[in-house]
Amino acid sequence: MKVSAIITLKKDVLDPQGKVIHQALDGMGFENISEVRQGKYFEIDVNEDDPSKAKAVVEDMCKKLLANLVIENFKIIETQ
């Protein structure tokens, strides 16, 4: 079963890459933007048929490795 996780920076953490991307977009004419925040996306194929078990495994992975909870939040976003 495929489970996806999105890792995003917490609100008060500086995101210089997001800022530069924002500036570039602005320069390209995308002026209607107030902020850009960059994050990470993982697609993990878990050998597990039970969706809640598969999600729980990925949640554990996020807590232990994929995300650093001092600066990042994670969200398990979909299962297939």
Partner 1 sequence: MKSSVITFPGSNCDRDMDVALKKFGFNNKMVWHDDNELPKSDLVVLPGGFSYGDYLRCGSMASKSKIMQSVINFAKSGGLVMGICNGFQILVETGLVPGVLLRNKYLEFICKNVFVKLDNKENTYFKNLNKDVLEFHIAHNEGNYFCTKDQLKEIKDNNQIAIYYCNSEGKIEDQYNPNGSIKNIAGIFNKEKNVLGMMPHPERMIDQSLSGEDGSIFFKNLINNIK
Give the binding site for partner 1 (CB under 8 A).
13-14, 16-17, 20, 65-66, 68, 70-71
- Tell me the pairing of strands 72-79 and 2-9: antiparallel
Q: Rounded to an integer, what is the distance from CA 62 to the centroid of its chain?
A: 10
Compare residues 14 and 28 and give the one whose CB is closer to partner 1. 14
**Shortest Cβ 32–partner 1 spacing (Å):** 24
The residue among 68 and 80 lying less far from partner 1, judged by its C-beta, is: 68
Nearer to partner 1, 10 or 50 (CB): 10
Q: What is the DSSP string of 41-55?
A: EEEEE-S-S-HHHHH
One-letter amino acid of 2 = K
